[in-house]
Amino acid sequence: MGSFICSISERDWQIAKTKGIYGNKAGRIGENGKYFEFSPSVKYSIIRDLVGMRNGDKVFFHVITKKGYSRIHGIYIVRETAFYDLLKIWDDDMELFPYRFLFGPHPNYKYLCKRDAYIEVIDFYELIEQRKIWSLATLENEMNIEARSVKKIEDGIEAKEILRLLHRDFKYRISDSEIQFSPISISCTAKPLQSLINEIGRYENSIKALLMYKISQNNRSILEILGSVADFMNEVFIAQTTRKSIDILCIQNYLNNSKKYTICEVKTSKCEVGSLKQLLYYMDLFKRKDLVDLDNDIITGCLIGQKFAAEVIDFSRQRNAQNVNGNIILIEYKPIQNGSDANFRRIA
Amino acid sequence: MTKKVASVDPYSSLYQDLYSLGIFDRNINGNLHILEKNDEHKTILIERRYVDLSGNLVISGFYFIQCLYFICETEHIRKFRGNLEIVVKKKAKGNYMEVDPIILARGYKEDVSHFIANYNEIQRRKPIQLFIFG
C-alpha cells in the first residue's frame, strides 16, 4: 500500500470531508482575472502524482488555512482511484477540480476522522527537520520546487509518524462537532485517469505518469526488469538544501529484512552522460541517508529513456560486470498506440 | 592518466616512509597516520590529518592504497572497488568524497585504463589515482 498527502483549501475541505471526494485543479486565474487551463506538461504532472494511487492507500490532507497554521488531517483511505470528471462538486465559479479520487475514513481510525483530527503543519515540519520524514522538503509552494497538490510519501515510517502525532494531539486538535459523512459515488461521466495519458515521448511527465501507473498495477513488463516493488513514490527529495529530487524511487524488500532502493531517472528522449552522472551522484547521496543500512541495503540506479549515448551503455555494462553494490539498469522505451502507451526493454 | 614512481617495492617503501614515493605532499600542516595494513593484499589505509586553528590534529580524510606487483586487470579493479566500498562504509558512513583511492601497479590493461578514466569522469567521487612502478 501507499500513502499520500493532498493539499486543499479550508473552504473546499468542508465539502471534501463530508462527501469523501478530493479534486485537483485544472488551471489558474491569471492577473487579468481570466481562467487559464494548465499547460500539457503541468496537466501530466497532476496525472503523474495521482495515477499511482490504489484502493486502500492511506491519505492525509494538508488543509491550507487563511489564518493561523495550516493543518494535516487524517487518516483516510482511497475508496475509488483517480478519475477525471467535470461534474460540479465545489462552490467555485471557475474551477471544477476535475482530477479526483474518492476517500473514506480509515476503518481502524474512524474516531480520528469523525472528529476531523489534525496536527499543525509546523509539527509536520519538525518531522522533516528530524529526518523522520525524508521524502519531502516542504508542503509549501517554493520558487525552486514544482507546485504539487498531491504528494506520495513513504508508507512505512513516515505515515506512521503522522498517525502517531494525530493520536498525540487528539485531545486538543479536533473539531467541536462530529462530521456527518455522506459519501458520494463515482459518476457515470467519470473517466479513469490513466486514459488521459498521451503524448508519451513528448513530455517527461507523460512517461513518468505511465510508469507510476504501471508500477501501481504491478505491470509485468516493468516488474520483470525491476522486480517486485513494495512501495514507490515520485519526486522524492534527495538533497533538501539543493532541492534535488529523484524522479521515481522504488523500495523493494530484499534478503533478511534488508531493502533494495531503486532510484529511477526518466528522460523524454536520449540519456546522455550527464544523466548517468546525475544518477550515480544521487545513488551516492542516497546511501548517506539515515534510513539506509549501509551493510545490508542495496542502492540500484535506473535510467529510462528512448535512446542512450554509447558511453552510457558502455560504462553501465562495465560497472555492472564488476557487481560492486548496486547495478545500473538502462530501460529503453518506445511510444506505442499514438503515444498513449509504451514498450519497455532492458538494455543493460 | 598514470604517473610513474621510482620504486621496485612500493609497499615496503610506503610503509617505511609514506612520503618516499612523492605521492603525498609534505607541505601540509598536519600528518599522515597508517590505520591499517594488509601484507597479503598489500593494502594500506591512511588517515590524513591537519592542524586546526586551535592547534589540534583533525581528520581531513583517508587514503586507501593497494600495490599490485603485476599488470592490473579488470578482476583486480573489481576487488579493489569492493574493498574501497567497505572502507567508505566503515570510515566515512558511505561518503566517497572522504576517501582517496590509489593503485600502484606494474601496468594497466587497456580496458582497465579506459574504465578508470570513465569512472573518474562520471562518478562524483574522489578519482582513483593510478601509478606505475618498476
Q: List pLDDT tens digits, range A257-302.
A: 899 999 999 999 999 999 999 999 999 999 988 899 988 999 999 9
Contact yes or no for A38/A205 (Cβ under 8 A): no
Express as a percent the part of chain A with pLDDT over 90.
82
Transcribe A26-61 into DSSP letters. Answer: SEEE-TTS-EEEPPHHHHHHHHHHHTT--TT-EEEE
Q: C-alpha grid cell for residue A243?
A: 532541492
Say how many domains are in chain B: 1
Chain A contacts of B120, Cβ < 8 Å? none
Instruction: Show residues of chain B in contact with A292, CB under 8 Å.
Output: 94
Report CB contact under 8 Å: A277, B85.
no
User: What pLDDT, on the 0 to 100 scale, is given for residue A138?
Assistant: 82
| pLDDT of amino acid B28 | 87
Q: Which residue in A280, A287, A288 is closest to B122 by CB distance?
A: A280
Residue B74 above 90 pLDDT?
Answer: yes
* A-contacting residues in B 60-89 (Cβ below 8 Å): 74, 77-78, 81-82, 85, 89
Of A276, A287, A324, the CB nearest to B122: A276
Above pLDDT 90, what percent of chain B? 96
- What percent of chain A has pLDDT above 70? 98
Q: Where are the alpha helices (DSSP H) in B21-122?
A: 74-92, 110-122
Q: How much is the ipTM here?
A: 0.87
Burial call A266-296: b when 16+ CB within 10 Å, e when fewer = bbbeebebebbebbbbbbbbbbeeebbebee
CA distance A127 to A48: 26
Through-space distance between the first and last CA atoms of chain A, rounded to whole angstroms = 29
Can you give the residue range of the structural domain that contains B68? Answer: 3-133
Could you give the CA distance from residue A94 to residue A80 in angstroms, rounded to a whole number? 25
pLDDT, tens digit, 9 for 90 and up, residues B14-40: 999 999 999 998 888 999 999 999 999
All domains in chain A, ordered by first residue: 3-193 (3.10.590.10), 197-346 (3.40.1350.10)
- Tell me: pLDDT of A143 over 70: no
Look at residue A244 in the predicted model and tell me its pLDDT. 81
Tell me the pLDDT band of A144, cut-offs 50, 70 and 90: low
Comparing A145 with A48, which gets the higher pLDDT? A48
Work out the pLDDT band at A147, boundaries 50, 70, 90: confident
Look at the alpha carbons of B47, B50, B51, B54 in this order and tell me if their dihedral is positive or negative: negative
pLDDT score recorded for residue A263? 97
In tens, the pLDDT along A190-209 reads 999 999 999 999 999 999 99
CATH number for position B24: 3.40.1350.10
Mean pLDDT of chain B, nearest integer: 95
pLDDT number for residue A137 = 80
Q: How far apart are CA A340 and CA A44, in angstroms?
A: 12
Check: CB of residue A205 under 8 Å from CB of residue A48: yes
Identify the weakest region by mean pLDDT among A40-44, A241-245, A329-333, B57-61.
Answer: A241-245
C-alpha cell at A125: 515540519
Alpha helices, DSSP H, located in A192-261: 204-216, 220-226
Q: Which residues of B touch A314 (CB under 8 A)?
A: 118
